[in-house]
Amino acid sequence: MLAGFMTGPALASPRIFAVFESIPTFLQTVSTPSRWVLAVCLLVLIAGALSLNDALLYTPDSARYLVWAKSLSTFNGFLDDTSPEPVRYVVHAPLYPLLLAPVAWIWPWGVEGAKAWTLLMALGALWLFYRWTAEAAGEVVAAAATGLLGVHSLFLLYATQVLSEIPFAVAFMAALIKASQLEAQKKRPNIADHAGLVLSLGAAMFLREVGVAVIAGMLLYWLFQKRWRSVLIVGGLCILLYVLWFVRNEVIVAGIEQPPLRNSQLLVTHLYTPKDASLLAEFAARIVNNGRVYAGHLSTIVFAPDFIRQSHGLVSPGHPLAAAAGSLTPFAAPLFLILSFGSALTGIILTWRTQSATRLTTVVMAAYFGPILIYPINDVRFLFPLVLFLLHFGAVGFRTVVDRWPELSHRQAVRWTAVGLAIVCLFPNVAWASSFVANNWRFAHDPNLLKPARESEAELPDYYYKRLSAPGRWISAHADKNAIVLSRWKEIALWLEGRDVLDVDPQMTPDSFDRTLRDYRVQYLASVRWRVGLRENETQIEYSSRYDFVPQMESGSVEVLKVVPKKEERIVKADISADADSPTMFRTALRLLRRGEPTEAESLLVRVEQRMGRYGALVYHTAVAKALAGRYDEALAVFEKFQSIPQAGSFLQQAWYHQEIISRIRGAQAAAFPEDRATKFHIIAVNYWELGYRASCFRMIDSSLAVQPSFFPALMFASIFHYQDGDVASSAAYWERARRVNATNLLVEHMKAVLEADRDLRKARDDAERIRQHQHKAVAFLAMDMREDAIDEFLAILDIQPAHRQALRNLVGIYTDKRRYGPAREYAQRLVEASPNDRGARELLKDLEVRWE
């Protein structure tokens, strides 16, 4: 077969042979340092190719890039059609999917293809870094610096992932090179020069939002240099491009779709300070926190970025070289800090006066740090441009020192010291790369990794067991075409063959979880079950009052569960044996938290942590237990730790909720007036109800009523909450107390209607009577703005009479108001089928169908 391939018409062509024959001639024309760089590129290409597979590290970022790329490749614009409702809002910078579109046109949904394309961009980034550094430090030193970049852990990682870091680095360096050349030439830029700057700076801006800071830094430098023409032309065109995209995305599309996550909203959301704090206080808290986190990375960011703080978990701790590097790095960290920052500072200081490019690059880099310090999420990948900056100016510093004191390079001791330092500095990244490549190769080729992760060896990191292709294909083979899958991992959509996936926050509240399953009639849940036995959706599964989850298949760490209606309440055990397994202990702790026994729950969580280690879910729920037990300072200390964890958005949001509740509890305890204190405790009760902690909610209601027994809102909400919790007797008792306080209040009247309809429903003898009582309850719930409860009543009517037109019409209206257009469209279609001559029904469906066009 190989012989036939080699003699095929393509390779038999004389032109093909001419290309290969010309390679030696080409190599003779390039300098020796350039050959070294080409050798580095070849090594990176080989290592990257061996590391290609269908695993994605960042979710849902990478999956979104692939979805948009496929849409762009078919000229449908930026469209995410993998969810029940089509989404045109773009939450990430838009240029990277456009760069991936050619690959998506050839290889739709191809993770490996997108990674290979990004790897080729990385080779371009290496060559561009070499040329950028060679202009300031000479080819030999630049080649050495390029070698350091080629083996850098973050560079190899981003070169083999579907992420925009590498193309952003290309645009970043291209802009600096072009601007530096103009500075060195001391000439007035022409149209071509400005066009090159607009293209590179615009690309940086549309590859990463922080690219706006790169533009701002360059404009600021030009203002100091009084380059008014460049400021007006380049700045004006870049601002125009940004405004056009902002209007498209944030004004037009976001105005229509109202996405739950918007870039503009995320920037001003309180995650570090109480809601009533000023935005300046929030920014100050972010700067302090992010500054502390990033400062912790500085010592190893160049020579050992993945061996100190918050490792990516991609190398095996038992790998001989990786283990040695992990042991070496803590001791060598001060040396790494001195070498990386010392050499870079030397280069900056010694060339500050003589090289305008030094001043320009330093100002741009300083501007870059502004946004990443005030951004609510911190991540080491935001520091990747700093790696380029330090390596570049480190090379400049080395070359400047050698030029000024040439006698140093002739001393034998200096040479041997330099060799020793080079080995020490190279070793961690080389060790990391060896384990990284081996693990990724194994992920792509070892069938043993398809076995359940709980039965696997402990040495391989958890990341390599999260293979979503096998579960996706299983669902495609066993589910109908309209099935909807709920999962945190959006990339599973790549293997669902057109079935929709709801990618949700794994820390969403239990009520939101149940309502999402209900509204979209989700059939399957794809959840990661780590080798310790815990599932990421364990809390929602345990607290679900509507559904049971039946395991269907398990591949690696991914478990597929079928969502089925709950037949009966689970039996909650009062105690647990000392030798119970860790998952059982964890689930029991969750029940105890919900039941209002936080001290016992914390005891179990501590025992589980001693067995399993500090998993995020364990740490979070331990903090919750401390908060529910009234140990607020201890709880706050744990919650605040989530602020320093990279990409901890879901835990960070939930931690903030509890911090806010603790602040409110202390405010309630300090309130001077009884009515004010009762109001505050009542609000806290609502907060705990939303989070799923029923017993804590009722305890806060009791606190509110203890201060003011006739406090109407607390009485009324107690009646409603007890009813929703299934305790009709307690609901009626609190309703009676509320009626005595304010009998004419509309809430009293509507809740009376609910209780009476509920009583009559249990006595109903035929379907007509049942439908009538469900309608009474639904109307009363809507009058109280309890639309979620009203949905349940309308769905109950459809269970009895599937073509009930009024129930269908009400569901269309409610789901449209909730902006859940998929369910609204489904019920509108059913309404048209039930009433084909109803013009209003057809208009409702037509208005909804527009979103799918």
Distance in angstroms (rounded) separating the CA atoms of residues 502 and 520: 9
**pLDDT per residue over 534-565, tens digit each?**
888 889 999 998 999 999 999 888 999 999 99
524 and 486 Cβ atoms separated by less than 8 Å: yes
In this structure, what DSSP letter does residue 553 have?
A: E
3-state secondary structure labels for all residues of 113-151 = HHHHHHHHHHHHHHHHHHHHHHHHHCHHHHHHHHHHHHC
The contacts of residue 593 (CB under 8 Å, 6+ apart) are: 601, 621, 624, 625, 628, 693
pLDDT at 39: 93
Q: What is the CATH number of the domain that holds 522?
A: 3.40.190
Q: What is the secondary structure of 770-803 as a DSSP string?
A: HHHHHHHHHHHHHHTT-HHHHHHHHHHHHHH-TT
Beginning with the edge strand found earlier in the chain, give each strand of the sheet holding 547-555 in spatial order: 500-503, 484-487, 524-528, 558-565, 547-555
Helix axes 95-106, 61-73, angle to 10 degrees: 60
484 part of a folded domain: yes
Which of 26-40, 94-108, 186-200, 751-765 shows the lowest per-residue confidence on average (mean pLDDT)?
Answer: 26-40
853 part of a folded domain: no
Q: Which range among 233-247, 459-473, 574-588 has the greatest average pLDDT? A: 233-247
469 part of a folded domain: yes
Distance in angstroms (rounded) separating the CA atoms of residues 166 and 122: 6
Q: Say yes or no to pLDDT of 7 above 70.
A: no
> Quick one: average pLDDT of 751-762?
94
Which of 54-68, 644-658, 693-707 shows the lowest per-residue confidence on average (mean pLDDT)?
Answer: 644-658
Local confidence band at 571 (pLDDT 50, 70, 90 cut-offs): very low
The tally of CA atoms less than 13 A away on the side-chain side of residue 822 is: 20
Residue 482: give the domain boundaries.
462-565
pLDDT at 183: 81
Beta bridge partners of residue 487, listed in sequence order: 503, 526
123 part of a folded domain: no
- How is residue 490 written in tokens? 């959006």
pLDDT at 710: 93
Distance in angstroms (rounded) separating the CA atoms of residues 646 and 661: 24
Distance in angstroms (rounded) separating the CA atoms of residues 118 and 113: 9
Distance in angstroms (rounded) separating the CA atoms of residues 815 and 809: 10
Local confidence band at 608 (pLDDT 50, 70, 90 cut-offs): confident
pLDDT at 1: 35
707 part of a folded domain: no
CA nearest to 750, candidates 722, 799, 718, 785: 785
- How is residue 768 written in tokens? 């007509």
How far CA 175 is from CA of 132, 215, 399, in Å, comes to: 10, 9, 23
**pLDDT per residue over 823-836, tens digit each?**
999 999 999 999 99
Output the average pLDDT for the chain. 89
- The pTM score is 0.89
- How is residue 672 written in tokens? 């001077």
The tally of CA atoms less than 13 A away on the side-chain side of residue 157 is: 22
54 part of a folded domain: no
The contacts of residue 702 (CB under 8 Å, 6+ apart) are: none
pLDDT at 471: 95
pLDDT at 2: 35
517 part of a folded domain: yes
> Quick one: average pLDDT of 502-522?
91
817 part of a folded domain: no
The share of the chain scoring above pLDDT 70, in percent, equals 93
Distance in angstroms (rounded) separating the CA atoms of residues 592 and 590: 5
Q: Say yes or no to pLDDT of 624 above 80.
A: yes
**pLDDT per residue over 144-173, tens digit each?**
999 999 999 999 999 999 999 999 999 999
Outline where 405-533 has alpha helix (H): 412-445, 469-478, 510-520
Beta bridge partners of residue 554, listed in sequence order: 559
In this structure, what DSSP letter does residue 529 have?
A: B
The domain total for the chain is: 1
In this structure, what DSSP letter does residue 409 have?
A: G
3-state helix, strand, coil in the chain (%, to 5): 70, 5, 25
